């Protein structure tokens, strides 16, 4: 099993969505996807991307939600 960490530190919806979808093909089982600061009001749309893509579309649950959303990657 290879190591995998995708730390997405973007503040607007389009950039967060692009970064997540671009890193997803490289995910290794057991690695992590971290979304930086999606709970802050200055990060317009970041929380919605986490909810729409990671939770609803990919059916994942967060292992941690503050200060960052942390998900275990599945290849």
Does 46 have pLDDT greater than 90? no
Going 67 to 1 to 28 to 55, the CA torsion angle's sign is negative
Q: How crowded is the C-beta side of 48, counted as CA atoms within 13 Å?
A: 10
Average pLDDT over residues 26-55: 88
Helix/strand/coil (H/E/C) assignment for every residue in 20-32: HHHHHHHCCCCCE
Instruction: Tell me the pTM.
Output: 0.85
Which pLDDT value is given to residue 8? 95
Instruction: Check if the beta carbon of residue 65 is closer than 8 Å to that of residue 39.
Output: yes
pLDDT given for residue 5 in this prediction: 94
Say whether pLDDT at 42 is over 90.
no
């Amino acid at each position: 099993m290879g190591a995998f960490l995708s730390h997405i530190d973007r503040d607007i919806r389009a950039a967060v969505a692009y970064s997540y979808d671009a890193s997803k093909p490289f995910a290794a089982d057991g690695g992590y996807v971290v979304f930086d600061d999606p709970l802050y009001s200055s990060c317009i749309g970041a929380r919605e991307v986490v909810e729409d893509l990671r939770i609803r579309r990919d059916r994942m649950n967060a292992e941690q939600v503050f200060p960052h959303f942390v998900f275990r990657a599945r290849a």
